[in-house]
Amino acid sequence: MAMKYLVFLLALPLLVFSCSSPSSNEEQEANADSQTIQQEWVPLFNHENLEGWQILPGGQWNVENGNIVGTSPADEPLHGILLSNQEFGDFKLRVTFKILTGDSGLYFRVEKADDAVSVNGFQAEIDVHNETGGLYETGGREWVVKPDPDNIQQWMKSDDWNELVVIAKGKDVKVFLNGHETAALTNDTGRTKGHIGLQLHGGMEMNVMFKDVLIQENPANMEL
């Protein structure tokens, strides 16, 4: 009788482990599913209208053939901004753009300002002068990271669609152009929450198009 009781005691931990394992596996699967949902790309532009966005003075923003089209004449002094209604903190932000003339940009974590630019904060540069993918802080330090123009000339597709990705997590920021890293900041002093915006630079002829604007909030890492 004592021997049977000893065998039972030795087997008890295995029974407990066996019974608990499915529950643990189910919990891990639930967490994985939750993370997958969290990491999905969400469109900020519906390809039909500018719902979810506000147009600040300067230039014109329209939807044509499913794309956001921004235009502005050279005699327009204001920076035309298409600004998201919502504010965002940590994210991966991906836009597909085509710039034909002028100097545009992808603003992120910005706040409204009562001046000719209408916002303060970071901009990932978009232009035709080999500075695309650089980081410029409007209303602050101005150029923070200027990319290598030789690299941009190699990576940028002129008069064609390009992809720009901004990853902002805490005080760290990275920018990628067509899969190539163009700028990176660690423990930066800039804003950590704000609006997303598309820019028409004042004082120059502008023609820029945006096909996709996608966001992934609270990313797990700083990688593409």
Q: 71-106 pLDDT, tens per residue?
A: 999 999 999 999 999 999 999 999 999 999 999 999
| Position 1 pLDDT exceeds 90 | no
Over 90: is that where the pLDDT of 170 sits? yes
Average pLDDT over every residue of 2-26: 44
CA distance 150 to 162: 17
Q: How many CB atoms are closer than 10 A to CB 88?
A: 18
Contact 213, 91 (CB under 8 A): no
CA angle 68-71-72, nearest 5°?
A: 150
Question: Does the structure show a pLDDT above 70 at 29?
Answer: no
Confidence (pTM): 0.83
Residue 39 has a pLDDT of: 76
pLDDT of 30 over the 70 cut: no
Taking 50 as the threshold, does the pLDDT of residue 189 lie above it? Answer: yes
Q: Which tokens hold the place of 69?
A: 């089209």
CATH for 42-217?
Answer: 2.60.120.560
Report residue 188's pLDDT band, with 50, 70 and 90 as the boundaries.
Answer: very high
Say which amino acid occupies 63.
V
Backbone angles phi and psi of 205, in degrees to 5: -70, 130
Mean pLDDT value across residues 3-16: 41
Is residue 24 helix, strand or coil?
Answer: helix
Widest CA span of the chain, in angstroms?
A: 100
| Residue 3: per-residue pLDDT | 43
